[in-house]
């Protein structure tokens, strides 16, 4: 197992290099650069040229890339070109904030999805199934930003139940109740954003299991539907669920960009958005590499969890 994991990790390195090169090229192909985004009509050409020189933007593309890469390999993510803040220290604050929001929402969504998905599948073709399907369809169709604005308007403004900006009231940084009040609306928004697709996925997986032979056998043995679902099907759909969990890993970084921006949640989302608008390339590159790494790790995690969940895979054919 350990050697397998190591092999997979080593395989990921060239992939990350290629990804970084592609993203760097794309940023370079953009019709303007970070200096253009901060240039005002009052700035003289001299001053603009001076800034370009200072940030090494006059170097050839490859030189810029190699410089950035070697810095990266020394474990230095560099600084934002806009406000010169260290990206590492910025992420040290923002990443936990994002995880604090995305993780509970994702886990809630997963539980809702398992409940709804299995319920729908157990009542295939009946009213409950159609209802779940309708809810999931509506959920998929509702844009996150719109839902967020509706929640802000109804619960934040009209009913005045919750604050709508940031993560804390200033001066109450350590109060749990204050945090939860700020947390509620973005959390609901994200949960609603995550759960419909998961629901459909689980419903489809369970429907697939129902057609399997073992279900027919169990039915023949007079097992109740509840027994079949709770003891057999639910265990078998763990595999697709585990896949989903692995694939969801990068969401911990980029899972809430829109929601965070709307609620001014001090996470990775607003940081990446404003960096992208101004082509602040060190920030964009760092975040994209981070999420690419998580995609690769997520896939690896899926495979490892598979083996843990499913004895057939774990024993790799050693079973008789």
Partner 1 sequence: MKKLKYGAVTLLFATAGLFLAACSTSSSPNKATTSKTETTKDASSFTYAISGNPASLNPINTSDRWGLTVTNMIYSPLVAIETDGTQKNILADSIEAAKDGLSVTVKLKQTIKWSDGEKLTADDVVFTYTQKAKKENGNADKLWIGGKPITIQKVDDYTVKFSLPEPSAAAVNNIATETFIIPKHIYKDVADFSVKELPVAPVGTGPYKLKTYKTGEYLAFEANKTYFGGTPAIKNVTLRIIESNDTAKVALQKGEVDAAVVLPSAISDLDSHDITVYPYSETRVGYLGLNTKSDALTNVKVRQAVLYALDKSELNQAAYLNKKYYSTPNSFLPPSNPFATESVNTYKTNAQKSKTLLAEAGVSDLKLNIGFSATDPAQTVQATLIQQQLKKAGITVTLEGGDGTAIFSELKKPGSTKYNLFLGGYIMGNDPDLYAALFKTGGSSNYFQTNNAKTDQLFDKAAVETDPTKRKALYDQLQKEVADDARIYPIVDNKKILAVNNRIANVKKANLVPIYTFEDLSKLTIK
* Subset of residues 116 to 145 that bind partner 1, contact rule: CB under 8 A: none
Nearer to partner 1, 12 or 102 (CB): 102
Strand, coil or helix: what is 128? helix
The 10 Å CB-count burial string (b at 16+, else e) for 37-67 is eebeeeeeeeeeeebbeebebeeeeeebbee
Q: Shortest Cβ distance from residue 105 to partner 1 (Å)?
A: 8
Residue 103 interacts with partner 1 (CB under 8 A)?
yes
Q: Shortest Cβ distance from residue 88 to partner 1 (Å)?
A: 13
Q: 32-41: long-range contacts (C-beta < 8 A, 24 or more apart)? A: 32/279, 33/57, 33/279, 34/81, 34/82, 34/278, 34/279, 34/280, 34/281, 36/279, 37/82, 37/277, 37/278, 37/279, 38/82, 38/278
| Residues 6 or more apart in contact with residue 253 via CB below 8 angstroms | 95, 98, 268, 287, 290, 291, 294
Nearer to partner 1, 170 or 220 (CB): 170
Residue 238 interacts with partner 1 (CB under 8 A)?
yes
Query: How many residues of this chain interact with partner 1, rule: CB under 8 A?
Result: 72
Residue 90 interacts with partner 1 (CB under 8 A)?
yes
Looking at residues 155 to 214 of the shown chain, list those that interact with partner 1 (rule: CB under 8 A): 156-157, 160-167, 169-172, 177-178, 180-181, 183-184, 187-188
Cβ 247 vs Cβ 306: under 8 Å: no
Q: Shortest Cβ distance from residue 166 to partner 1 (Å)?
A: 6
Q: Shortest Cβ distance from residue 62 to partner 1 (Å)?
A: 22
Looking at residues 46 to 85 of the shown chain, list those that interact with partner 1 (rule: CB under 8 A): 46-48, 50-51, 54, 82-85
Number of Cβ atoms within 10 Å of the Cβ of 267: 28
Among 10, 14, 29, 42, binds partner 1 (CB under 8 A): 42
Cα 88–Cα 94–Cα 96 angle in degrees, nearest 5: 105
C-alpha to C-alpha distance for 283 and 220, rounded to whole angstroms: 60
Q: What are the C-alpha distances in Å from 314 to residues 49, 317, 318?
A: 60, 8, 9
Strand, coil or helix: what is 27? helix
Looking at residues 4 to 23 of the shown chain, list those that interact with partner 1 (rule: CB under 8 A): none
Looking at residues 258 to 317 of the shown chain, list those that interact with partner 1 (rule: CB under 8 A): 261-264, 266, 270-271, 273-274, 278, 308-309, 311, 314-315
Nearer to partner 1, 187 or 201 (CB): 187
Q: Shortest Cβ distance from residue 53 to partner 1 (Å)?
A: 10
Nearer to partner 1, 263 or 292 (CB): 263
Q: Shortest Cβ distance from residue 296 to partner 1 (Å)?
A: 22
Q: Shortest Cβ distance from residue 37 to partner 1 (Å)?
A: 5
Nearer to partner 1, 85 or 124 (CB): 85
Phi, psi (deg, nearest 5) at residue 79? -130, 150
């Amino acid at each position: 197992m350990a050697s397998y994991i190591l092999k997979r990790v080593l395989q990921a390195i060239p992939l990350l290099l290629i990804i970084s090169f592609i993203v760097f090229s794309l940023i370079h192909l953009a019709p303007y650069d970070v200096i253009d985004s901060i240039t005002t009509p009052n700035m003289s050409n001299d001053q603009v040229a001076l800034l370009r020189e200072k940030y090494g933007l006059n170097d050839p593309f490859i030189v810029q890339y190699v410089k950035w890469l070697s810095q990266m390999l020394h474990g230095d993510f560099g600084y934002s070109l806009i406000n010169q803040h260290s990206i590492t220290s910025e992420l040290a604050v923002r990443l936990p904030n994002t995880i604090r929001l995305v993780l509970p929402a994702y886990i809630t969504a997963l539980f809702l999805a398992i409940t709804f998905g299995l319920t729908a599948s157990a009542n295939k073709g009946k009213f409950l199934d159609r209802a779940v399907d309708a809810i999931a369809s509506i959920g998929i169709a509702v844009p996150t930003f719109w839902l967020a604005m509706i929640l802000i308007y109804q619960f934040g403004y009209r009913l005045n139940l919750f604050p709508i900006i940031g993560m804390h009231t200033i001066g109450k940084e350590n109060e749990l109740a204050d945090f939860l009040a700020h947390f509620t609306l973005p959390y609901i928004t994200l949960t609603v954003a995550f759960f419909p697709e998961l629901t459909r996925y689980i419903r489809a997986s369970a429907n697939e299991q129902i057609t399997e032979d073992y279900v027919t056998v169990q039915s023949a043995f007079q097992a109740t539907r509840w027994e079949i679902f709770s003891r057999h099907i639910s265990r078998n759909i763990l595999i697709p669920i585990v896949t989903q969990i692995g694939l969801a890993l990068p969401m911990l970084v980029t899972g809430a960009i829109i929601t965070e921006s709307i609620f001014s949640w001090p996470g990775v989302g607003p940081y990446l958005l404003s960096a992208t608008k101004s082509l602040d390339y060190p920030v964009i590159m760092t975040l994209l590499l981070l999420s690419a790494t998580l995609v690769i790790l997520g896939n690896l995690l899926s495979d490892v969890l598979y083996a843990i969940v499913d004895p057939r895979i774990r024993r790799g054919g050693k079973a008789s």
